[in-house]
Amino acid sequence: MLSTGALRAHLLAARLAGSVATSREASLRSYRLFAARDPRVLIGIDPESSWNERDLLGLMAEKCGVSGDPRVTTGRDVIDPERTLVALDAFAERLAAVAQRSGAVLLGTGHPHRLLGFYAALADALSAAGCTVLIPAHGRRVDITTRFGLRTYNLQYVRGVALVRPPDAKSSGGEPGAHTHSPLPVRTALAAAAESGGPLPELVIGDHGWVCGAGQLGFEAIGPADTDDPALFVGEAEGVVSVVVPLDDAVRSDYYRPLTRYVLNRACLSQ
């Protein structure tokens, strides 16, 4: 089993935690937009409280370990690896709980270039433990508003993990899927599951809009988030999101493999 110390060292060496690639400027901009209720940053969360920039900075300092000093406006953001480790343990506990009852799960990502392998390994382990890995709305059209205008995508599943692709993208090959923060894909998947009369997920695992969109609809949702993704941490603070793991969500895909081994071992799901 990968030790906590070894994982901490990996988090720092791979810059999953510690000094991360996300800039302070990007994070502060996200906090400003969230405070203004910009849907591009809310990504499916409808906050109960009125969160201003200072509130958000305090929350992110508590949850991630970023500087809580508003006078710090430039440089690299920082994630406390101890907070990442604590959250990974909580993440593993939720995996273990759903596996023990052989519950239905839904996995999806807006970061397929980086995190597809991480989620696919979780899907494999949960399936082997008797969980039903849901794939509702496969092939369904999803129209997402982006900074480039309205874009049409298709919801697809790769190794049990949902993602979106442009309609003209090949179903296999070098393009893993599109990057998106939108909650529309998970809303589409959950609506299709309900319409079909099939099982609904007892746990949704993902990032960005997958976690926020599912949590806002009352589903238990867990996943990772970077320092410029305040919506997930607000969701956690308000009890809408179950677990958020603070880490850089855009490093090389193979850097997440030790995290996979760690959480599966902690959840007693190693194969």
**Mean pLDDT computed over 12-19:** 98
Instruction: Indicate the helix (H) or strand (E) that contains 88.
Output: helix 81-100
Would you place residue 1 in the very low, low, confident or very high pLDDT band (cuts 50, 70, 90)? confident
pLDDT at 271 over 90: no
When pLDDT is cut at 50, 70 and 90, the band that residue 174 belongs to is: low
Percent of the chain with pLDDT over 70: 97
* Percentage of the chain exceeding pLDDT 90: 92
Coil/strand/helix, residue 38: coil
Dist CA 245 CA 79 (whole Å): 10
Three-point CA angle 164, 91, 45, nearest 5°: 55
Task: Give the model's confidence band at 159: pLDDT under 50 very low, under 70 low, under 90 confident, else very high.
Answer: very high
> Is the pLDDT confidence value at 213 over 80?
yes
Token pair 């990057």 is found at: 179
Min mean pLDDT across 5-14, 61-70, 175-184 is at 175-184
The amino acid at 230: P
β-strand pairing of 203-206 with 161-165: unpaired
β-bridge pairing 161-165 and 104-108: parallel
Query: Would you say residue 172 has pLDDT above 60?
Result: no
| Stated pTM of the model | 0.96
Q: What is the mean pLDDT of residues 247-252?
A: 96
**Per-residue pLDDT, 170:** 63
Which residue do the tokens 């239905």 mark?
Answer: 104
Is the per-residue pLDDT at 17 higher than 90?
yes
Residue 173 has pLDDT above 70, yes or no: no
pLDDT classification of 270: cutoffs 50, 70, 90: confident
CA distances (Å), origin 99, targets 51, 107, 127, 129: 35, 14, 9, 6
Does residue 99 or residue 175 have the better pLDDT? 99
- If one compares 121 and 149, the residue with the highest pLDDT of the two is 121
| Residue 171: per-residue pLDDT | 52
